Amino acid sequence: MMGMMEALTFGVLSQVNQSGRRCRLNHWISRGLEADAKWTTTFVACTTTTAQHIWCNLVMTTALKIPSAEQFIDLPPPLGEVVAEYRIAAGEAIAYPVTAGQYIQIVDVEGSQCSDFLAFGGADHSDPLDATVTRTLTGLAVPQVGLPSKLFAQSMQPLVEVIQDTCDRHDSFLLACTARYYEDAGYPGHPNCSDNFNRVLAPYGIAPRPGWPALNFFYNTSVDGHGAIAFEEPLSRPGDYVLLLAHQDLLCASSACPDDIDPANGWQPTPIHVRIYATGQTFPRAIGRRVAADLPLRMTQDSAFTPRIRQLTDDLAEYNGFWVPHSLAHQGDQAEYWALRQRAALMDLSALRKFEVQGDDACALLQYAFSRHLEKIVPGQGAYGCLLAPHGGIVDDGIVFCFSPTHYRYVGNCDTDRAWLEQIAKHRGWSVTVEGVDRHNLALQGPLSRDILKTLIPEVADLGYFRFMEAQIQGIPVLISRTGYTGELGYELFINPQNGAALWDLLMQVGQPAGLLPLGMKALDRARIEAGLLALGHEFDDLISPYQAGIGWAVAMKKPDFMGKAALEEIRRHPPRVAVGLVLAGPEVAAHGQPVFAQGERWRVGQITSATFSPILNTSIAMAQVVPEFAAAGTGVEVGMLDGLKRRIPATVGTLAAFDPSKSRVRV
Amino acid sequence: MSIVTTASHPWDMAGADGLVAAKTLLGDQVDRLAPFQSLETTLEGLPCAVLRLCDRNFRITYPGPLDALVADRSLQLWVKQQPWLGAIVLPAASLPLVAANATVRAPHRLRSLPLHCAAPAQLSGLPILVWHHPLGEQPGLELQAARVQIGSLCQLIQSLNLGSVSLTTARA
């Protein structure tokens, strides 16, 4: 236990007085405790500034050291102007005041450490944080950065709001750990967060509780399909943090959970660091995502077009590392959808990843890694296909644009595509570079899209399907491809991000007479399902082959060799499932993962991958992956709604694209 | 400034077949509405406004017996006039004043609320549904609220009004 304590630090590090001058008030213990230090007596310290009161309870007899806050080199740099910061030693808790408009950053210093959080608003701290209210009002198990981001009090008033979160796995269901928990596990007397909270909150007149319902940051819990709540080691890495904005004057309490008897803290409790940032600062809202062990944390970002989109809606959500609109205010996804199908719509697809593949062996690399036959693709042409894994699974889907036999651009979904292509090139000894290229892109789609774009660039009238051209629109360099994700005639425009606002304004202006509308992800999802277009995580992943996903046509089996060819030759003969479209009887809409049954039978033959109500077909449709024996057009099946038992809906197998399966609209 | 009870009591319709019923009664055009959007139409020769509240929930200002129109259609839905719902009507010109004094939760926006759109909001803590739609010959602003709070809402509007807005109708 003491070995663990060596790395602990207690106390208030610094505080800002009312004049704003930063001064260190107290610091009791820092790193470098002797290994044999004895923690035997209770030490209660109180410091007071004109603005704030801070209490810490310590148990120690070790000689005190007073280092400067700058010695904490184990933390990410401050995000802004710090007005107070606290180091919570492993197993301890603190209470601290925060004023409205200040920010609270809770940092998991060493990783895998839970920090339970309480907040009290209202007069005399009478309105505590309530996780049940929070879950109910946000519709989320734990608030996330974005629209449903607030933590609410029992009075349903917001206390704090999550502004940034680099872990995105927390708990709101369980109590802060209690004496009862440890007693039941055979550890009577074990320190626990609830008692620690009782102690640090007592000076504020807050009555003790045997267990505090808290928002438990970094606590990695989950509820399985049977309702069981499980927990595992936290996902947080060293320096991961949550940044909260206080919506009112608060008394807060944070812990560094003492649980060392299970994986909740990785069996090894460590410190938590809390920074308070001054009011009046602005921090971008962002969720940190890790997509691979060897790639850095990626924070949600705005695209070049997001500032314009924010003027039109507050309904934005994180998608693949970017903030994208769900739907536009006062417009609605139905209007956006019909604009797309009948006139034209403009959407931000900047979340796609773009990679330049260049070098003498660029063609060889993509010919091997990508499913299409690229020797048939000429400069100025693109091809849709997928990157493959050795076992035939789809690593990603995307489009390869050919500039020359030594220069291609791959546009896909994943940050990891670059490393995958580089790995293949290295293994094969090919001379090729793969670099990410900073281009953001709009898609202008719909039957009138050509007419709109022609007013700016007459040459697009002759741009063929899956062809691209480089041009300038009123001085803005742009790559225009006749591609899309909607099943409509359309174009994608790739630009340097610095020109984003200008291009958005220009397209909206020239498109207005034609009834152009901006389009959000809800309408886009409806359109792509109608068109039978795949979505990562729904129709494919690296365990699903192109033959199961419905893009077997995009695999050039005649190529002499390519990644996964041997496996795909086997899979092609009898894929475990194949992609089909379903037309459901009645208006009810199915959902991803729902079972597909043989008619009148107990056994499943597949499952739904995506579903929507098709306005243009006026029927409920779905994409599904079913066993080949039930994949013939016209086959009757049943979709299990709810639990699959309470209600089944008859459905008929059809083409994967329920709308315009011949693709006549995109080729027009 | 007078407050007059005139507006007809709307019908609420919801259920698994709410959209089916709305399309059957009012045509496919209702499915082009997003939640909190509305349209003006006629039903059985009578003018009415249709406000979509959710995928399968609609509020319809039909002056006749809407429940009778769906009674024998074997649909899974309910149709009723909510006894606890009231409304007052303001001139459309009062929208900036209401927007300036109301709070709206994102993603709803009240400022420049277009015609044929609605938004849930709070006016000095009093929950209302602001519905901007034609009322007779003119666009109007219908503020729906709990019936028991209509009186408070009227007082609140008048206190905000400063003489620049004329309250025209109310339904309590």
Would the pLDDT of A41 be above 90?
Answer: no
Q: What are phi and psi of A552, to 5 degrees?
A: -60, -30
Q: Are A371 and A383 in contact (CB under 8 A)?
A: no
Residue A394 φ/ψ region, left for φ over 0, alpha for ψ in the -120 to 50 degree band, beta for the rest: beta
- What is the model's pLDDT at position A23? 29
Q: Is the pLDDT of residue A578 over 50?
A: yes
pLDDT (0 to 100) of residue A70: 54
Q: What is the mean pLDDT of residues A192-196?
A: 98
If one counts every other C-beta atom within 10 angstroms of the C-beta of residue B126, the result is 16
CB B139 within 8 Å of CB B115? yes
Residues 278-317 of A with CB under 8 A from B: 313-315
Residue B7 confidence class, pLDDT cut points 50, 70, 90: low
Overall average pLDDT of the B46-55 stretch: 94
Q: How many residue pairs from chains A and B have C-beta atoms closer than 8 A?
A: 42
Q: Does A338 touch chain B (CB under 8 A)?
A: yes
A617 and chain B in contact, CB less than 8 A: no
Instruction: Output the pLDDT for position B170.
Output: 53
Q: Residues B68, B127: one domain?
A: no
Interface with chain B: mutation pick from A314, A330, A338, highest number of B CBs within 10 Å: A330
Please state whether the peptide bond connecting residue A405 to the residue before it is cis, i.e. omega within 30 degrees of 0: no
In this structure, are residues A32 and A135 in contact, taking their beta carbons and an 8 Å threshold? no
User: How many Å apart are CA A586 and CA A649, to the nearest integer?
Assistant: 8
What angle is formed at CA A451 by the lines to CA A449 and CA A453, rounded to 5 degrees? 65
* Rg over CA atoms, chain A: 29
Q: Is the dihedral of CA B112, B115, B117, B122 positive or negative?
A: positive
- Output the domain CATH number for residue B152: 3.30.1360.120
**Whole-model pTM over 0.90:** no
What residues of chain B, 41 to 100, have a C-beta less than 8 Å from chain A? none
Contact A327 B106 (CB under 8 A): no
**How confident is residue A287, by pLDDT bands cut at 50, 70 and 90?**
very high
Across all residues in chain B, what is the average pLDDT? 88
Chain B contact for A610 (CB, 8 A cutoff): no
User: Which is nearest to A55 in space by CA: A206, A253, A207, A212?
Assistant: A253
Any chain B CB within 8 A of the CB of A332?
yes
pLDDT tens digit sequence for A646-667: 899 999 999 999 999 999 999 9
Q: CB A327 to CB B19 under 8 A?
A: no
The set of residues, in sequence order, having a beta carbon less than 8 Å from that of A601 and lying 6+ positions away, is none
CA dist., res. A524 & res. A179, Å (int): 51
Q: Which residues 6+ apart lie within 8 Å of A376 measured at CB?
A: none
Q: How confident is the model at residue A592 (pLDDT cuts 50, 70, 90)?
A: very high
CB A168 within 8 A of CB A297: no
Contact B109 A588 (CB under 8 A): no
Q: Taking a C-beta distance cutoff of 8 angstroms, is the pair A611, A620 a contact?
A: yes
CA distances from residue A331 to A313, A520, B143 in whole angstroms, order as listed: 9, 10, 21
pLDDT score for B136 = 84
Q: Do A327 and B34 touch (CB under 8 A)?
A: yes
Q: Between vectors from CA A129 to CA A124 and to CA A130, what angle results, nearest 5°?
A: 130
What average pLDDT does the structure give for chain A? Answer: 89
Which tokens sit at A152?
A: 């609410």
Query: Which whole number is the average pLDDT over A494-500?
Result: 97
Of A315, A333, A615, the CB nearest to B107: A315
Q: What is the mean pLDDT of residues A364-369?
A: 98
Report residue B77 as tokens.
């839905």
pLDDT score for A642: 87
Distance between CA A416 and CA A598 in Å, rounded? 39
What pLDDT, on a 0 to 100 scale, did the predictor assign at position B72? 81
Confidence band (pLDDT; 50, 70, 90) for A68? very low
Residue pair A438/A497 in contact by the 8 Å Cβ criterion: yes
Domain boundary among B59, B81, B103: B81
Residues of chain A neighbouring B20 (CB-CB closer than 8 A):
587
Whether the pLDDT of residue A5 is over 60: the answer is no
Please check the confidence at residue A151 and state whether its pLDDT lies above 70. Answer: yes
Task: Place A4 in a pLDDT band, splitting at 50, 70 and 90.
Answer: very low
Test B113 with A330 for CB contact under 8 angstroms.
Answer: yes
Give the pLDDT score at A12: 38
C-alpha A610, offset from chain centre: 19
Average pLDDT for residues A347-369, to the nearest whole number? 98
Give the C-alpha separation, A404 to A358, whole Å.
9
- Nearest residue in chain B measured CA to CA from A333: B34
pLDDT of amino acid A224: 87
Asked whether residue B94 falls in the same domain as residue B152, the answer is: yes
pLDDT band at A2 (very low <50, low <70, confident <90, very high): very low
Q: How many CA atoms lie within 13 A of A612 on its CB side?
A: 23
Q: Summarize the confidence of residues A20-26 as an average pLDDT.
A: 30
- Give the full edge-to-edge strand order of the sheet including A490-495: A468-473, A476-481, A490-495, A440-445, A345-348, A517-518
pLDDT over 50 (residue A601): yes
Rounded to whole angstroms, the maximal C-alpha distance in chain B is 52
Q: For residues A271 and A114, is the Cβ–Cβ distance under 8 A?
A: no
Contact A83, A47 (CB under 8 A): no
Torsion of CA A62, A64, A68, A72, to 10 degrees: 10
Among A38-47, B6-15, B82-91, name the most confident range.
B82-91
Predicted confidence at residue A225, as pLDDT, reads 83
Name the residue facing A147 among B32, B33, B107 (closest C-beta): B107
Q: What is the DSSP letter of A446?
A: S
Structure tokens belonging to residue A310:
């924010």
Q: Give A406 to chain B, closest Cα distance, Å.
A: 47
Is residue B53 within 8 A of residue B59, CB to CB? The reply is yes
Is residue A317 pLDDT above 50, yes or no?
A: yes
Percent of chain A surpassing pLDDT 70: 89
Q: Calculate mean pLDDT across residues A430-443.
A: 97
Q: For A466-493, what is each residue's pLDDT tens digit?
A: 999 999 999 999 999 999 999 999 999 9
**Which of B58, B81, B104 corresponds to the end of one domain?**
B81
B103 and B64 in one domain?
A: no
| pLDDT above 60 for A14 | no
Among all residues of chain A, which has the CA nearest to that of B112? A330
- Provide, as residue numbers in chain A, all residues whose Cβ is less than 8 Å from the Cβ of B117: 330
Q: Are B16 and B65 found together in one domain?
A: yes
pLDDT-derived band at A643 (thresholds 50, 70, 90) equals confident
Q: Verify that B87 and B160 share a domain, yes or no.
A: yes
* Beta strand segments in A459-586, E: 468-473, 476-481, 490-495, 517-518, 578-584
Looking at the structure, do residues B32 and B99 belong to the same domain, yes or no?
A: no
The answer to whether residue B106 neighbours chain A at the CB level (below 8 Å) is: yes
Q: What's the pLDDT score for residue B8?
A: 64
User: So what's the pLDDT on residue B5?
Assistant: 41
Average pLDDT of the residues in A382-403: 98
Please indicate if any CB of chain A lies within 8 Å of the CB of B31. yes
Question: In this structure, are B54 and B131 located in the same domain?
Answer: no
Q: Given CB atoms, is B20 within the 8 Å cutoff of chain A?
A: yes
Does residue B62 share a domain with residue B96?
no
Distance from CA of A553 to the nearest CA of B (A): 35
CATH code of B22's domain: 3.30.70.1400
Smallest CA–CA separation between B2 and chain A, in Å?
A: 31
* pLDDT(A623) > 70: yes
Domain count, chain B: 2
Region A603-611 average pLDDT: 97
Query: CA A638, CA A649: separation in Å to the nearest integer?
Result: 5
pLDDT of residue B160: 83
In tens, the pLDDT along A91-118 reads 999 999 999 999 999 999 999 999 999 9
Is A587 close to B107, i.e. CB distance below 8 A? no
Is there a single domain that holds both residue B144 and residue B160?
yes
Same domain, B66 and B96: no
* The pLDDT value given to residue B168: 52
* Pair (B77, B92) in one structural domain: no
**Can you give the pLDDT at residue B74?**
86
> Would you call A96 an interface residue with chain B, using a CB distance cutoff of 8 Å?
no
Per residue in A509-519, pLDDT (tens digit) is: 999 999 999 99
B64 and B22 in a common domain: yes
Regarding predicted confidence, which is higher, A123 or B50? Answer: B50
Please give, one letter per residue, the 3-state secondary structure of A233-262. CCCCCCCEEEEEEECCCEEEEEECCCCCCC
Does B167 score more than 60 pLDDT? no
- Report the alpha-carbon distance of residue A335 to residue B37 in Å, rounded: 10
Chain A positions touching B17 (Cβ under 8 A) are 587
The answer to whether residue B34 neighbours chain A at the CB level (below 8 Å) is yes
Question: CA-to-CA distance for B152 and B122, rounded, in angstroms?
Answer: 13
Q: Mean pLDDT across the stretch A290-318?
A: 95
B81, B104, B132: which is the final residue of a domain?
B81
Residue B20's domain spans which residues? 11-81
pLDDT at residue A49 is higher than 70: no
